Amino acid sequence: MEENEILNVIRNELFYGSADYTKSQPDLFIPHRFKMLAPSQVDSFLEKVKESLSEEDEILLYVHLPFCFSECLFCNSFPHKADKEAQKDYLSNLLKEIELLTVRGVFKGRKAKCIYLGGGTPTSFSNNDIKLILDKISSCIDLSENCSVTSEAHPSTLSDKQRIRELGDIGINRLSLGCQTFDQKVLLLCNRKNTEGQIARIVNDVKDTGMSINIDMMTGLPGQTIEGVKKDLEILGGIRPDSVEYIRHEIVNPLVVKLYKDNPGLVVDNDTLFQMVCITQEWMSANGYEQNGRFTDDTQWGYRYYWLKEMPIIAFGSRARSYTRTICFDKHEELSVYSNIIRKGGLPVGRYISLTPKEQMYRSLLLNIQVKRGLDIKQFQSRFTADPLEVFSSLFSRLSGYGCLQQEGGAINLTKYGAYFVEDVCDYIIDAVLKEESKSLARTPHSEGGTSSRLC
């Protein structure tokens, strides 16, 4: 097919626009399969988790720090209002949780390949608090050589160069800065205030310390235009962070839903959004930036790269999701429930899914196609004693017919345009999993579980 023809097919058959699009960092999300766990069942459940980790030498660690100073309208993570007392309490429970998992032997014999502090705004905690977390982790689990340690950060928390330097001193070696756009009108609508000068200064300050710096950007924000996106790219090209992640605005926050209800003209229509994705992905490729669908190695974002290579994730904190190759489990979301269980010496695991062998195969496909090399056919065969071209034959024929998926060099991987629309391809695969289980099942937003704004 000609390039234009492929793009037309993707737009007509696969592109979910904003409203039905659910994944900015796709993993297999099948919430109908969650089973609740009573506190009395958690210890025996943890034995199964340990068993599922028995072959793993290295794991990823995620730390969830769900507090923010104000709420951005594009937010899909529903943080709590930053508050000294609440954060102090959360921190002490989080440190205890790390200890409890250590005592139960979850980390025995394995190393942490990467650590990721996400939120919320991790930098709403002081450097000293972040140091306590990193010190606790390194006293409980050995770190791999060159362990990548990322913290997400809000630009307003990095105005002081000394603070940035200290973050490097305590062990952070990569900062990920939420920027989303430089368009002041759009930012104002989204309840954000970052400026081009502020972001450029932070990027320079971080680079001066020797840390790596990522900038998060978005398309499909309220009132965003093609011209605005082009201007953003021009500015980014001048700032030159070490990595960039471009995602689409996922319309789930009740505040943005209300804004759109009152001002329908602010919604970016699907055709414009489609163009925005093409423009930004073209720019990312041309400027050597890798993201989902195109990662060649761990240089730009180790944590995500190894996640896609199916390295298990053990997550700390309320609502945090962990994955091994066969089990997915979530911590309790409510802070009071999370804290009370830990205070009583228990682990706050609330629900889990034991992936069936078929679901494991789907997850393997879904994650590996987000790496440039794709799903290695021989490795899949030796792990599952099944040929992926047969297991996924109907899916493969539809997605390759759309010009998104191909067989190349012993792997199944995304084509150029499949990589541009990687989230839609992943959503399509999740739809196939759901339909295989029951015709009546449909995707729900990945942020399901947090349904109301907490900060306003």
- Give residues in contact with ligand SF4 (CB under 6 A): 68, 71-72, 75, 77, 79, 119-121, 154, 178
The least CB distance from residue 69 to ligand SF4, in Å, is 8
Q: State in angstroms the smallest separation of the CB of 125 from ligand SF4.
A: 13
Whichever of 59 and 252 has its CB closer to ligand SF4, that residue is 252
Residues pairing with 119 in the sheet: 65
Nearer to ligand SF4, 136 or 154 (CB): 154
Residue nearest to ligand SF4 (CB): 75
The residue (of 178 and 293) whose beta carbon lies closer to ligand SF4 is: 178
Identity of the residue, 24 or 243, whose beta carbon is nearer to ligand SF4 in the bound complex: 24
Question: How far apart (Å, rounded) are the C-alpha atoms in residues 189 and 185?
Answer: 6
Task: Name the residue nearer to ligand SF4 (CB basis): 122 or 241.
Answer: 122
Nearest approach in angstroms of CB 71 to ligand SF4 is 5
- CB 310 to ligand SF4: min, Å: 27
Smallest distance, Å, CB 86 to ligand SF4? 15
CB nearer to ligand SF4: give 156 or 275: 156
- Least distance from ligand SF4 to the Cβ atom of residue 244, Å: 17
CA 218 to CA 232: how far, in whole Å?
10
Enumerate residues 6+ apart whose C-beta is below 8 A from 262: none
Residue 190 CB, nearest distance to ligand SF4 (Å)? 9
Nearer to ligand SF4, 381 or 447 (CB): 447
Min CB(2)–ligand SF4 separation in Å: 39
* Nearest distance in Å: CB 257, ligand SF4: 15
Which CB, 33 or 64, lies closer to ligand SF4? 64
Nearer to ligand SF4 by C-beta: 75 or 91?
75
